[in-house]
Amino acid sequence: MRVVMMGTGTFAEPTLEALLSRPGLVVGAVTQPDRESGVRRGSTRQVGRGIKEIAVEAGVPVIQPPRINSPEGVAALRELQPDLLVVAAYGQILSPEVLSVPPLGGINVHASLLPKYRGAAPVAWAIMRGETQTGVTIIRMSAGLDAGDMLAQEAIDILHDETAGELETRLAPLGARLAIETLDRFALGSVTGIKQDQSQATRAPKLKKEMGLIDWSRPSRDVWNQMRAMQPWPTPYTYLHRADQLPLRLIVPDAAPLEFGGVGRPGELRQDRDESNEPVLLVSSGDGTALRILMVQPAGKRAMSAAEFLRGRPVQPGDFFGADVPPTKEQT
């Protein structure tokens, strides 16, 4: 069998490495074009060694078409003469013409328990929605978005304080193992799958930068889920509002939801002391509870503990977290 691997980022890399462990199996790799360092706007992908580097080290040809569905992209894929495509977080939707190039079509390593969370950001949306489990599904690729027959699936628990980036890192080797097991089935003959229950399908669309803005009007646990889901991108952020000062943008990478402590309107801040007499930053949420802020990163500065931040900026009456423009009287 001649396999072409298509993927980008750290979720895809273990799958490529697993395929490369089978000598002569991988005849080509397709990945996104090289980008300048730091230019990843709108991408949730974590950067590891890189699909290109791994493939080149193994002596595998690499193609990087800007659009795989273009005539040039299809022609480059045909030159590799694949029997099967293995796709993991590639970042482009494949056209029917691309999927028709290999006789066996393509399989996709998808980081959710399909039919839930079809789309570009399944890990983030599973955390955002408060799921306690997710997993990896191997599907036969079809014209519909992540709608093909399921060939393999395995679940794992989501850890209580896990970010999207951390969870994706744990899912990646699971995806690699399931991909190899599925290929072994292809080698034995025809592979059948299970159709997805379309009535249970949910969407996991691409994240946008503005989705990182924390909505303090939600219950504290929902806020916490949002904060975890927005890491590593677009990062959870808010604005500190203080009397007679411009709003200060803060990334809030770590917090803990509480079952108590809410005072005043959502976003209102309160400073307290812990058992070590260190300053503690509490912010009210929309259900009458609070979150304890553990880490903050002011715009243009390094991340620091909330205690360190408070030593330089103690909370004053009326200080609050919110959007960059304060709400009007009609909205309060």
* Model confidence band, residue 332 (pLDDT cutoffs 50, 70, 90): very low
Confidence of residue 45 (pLDDT cuts 50, 70, 90): low
The DSSP H or E segment spanning 37 is none
The two tokens of residue 191 are 């592979």
- Domain 3-200, classified CATH 3.20.19.10, yes or no: no
Q: Please tell me the predicted confidence (pLDDT) of residue 261.
A: 79
pLDDT band at 326 (very low <50, low <70, confident <90, very high): low
- What's the pLDDT tens digit per position in 270-313? 999 999 999 999 999 999 999 999 999 999 999 999 999 999 99
In the prediction, which pLDDT does 51 show? 95
* Closest-CA residue to 226 (of 207, 212, 210, 238): 212
Classify domain 209-331 by CATH number: 3.10.25.10
pLDDT at 82 over 80: yes
pLDDT in tens, 177-227: 999 999 999 999 889 999 999 999 999 999 999 999 999 999 999 999 999
Beta strands in the chain (DSSP E): 3-7, 26-30, 62-63, 84-88, 106-110, 133-140, 150-157, 237-241, 248-261, 269-273, 279-284, 289-298, 304-305, 320-322
Q: Is the pTM of this model over 0.85?
A: yes
How do the domains of the chain map onto residue ranges? 3-200, 209-331
Q: 6-44: per-residue pLDDT in tens?
A: 999 999 999 999 999 999 999 999 999 987 444 444 445
Residue 267 has pLDDT above 80, yes or no: yes
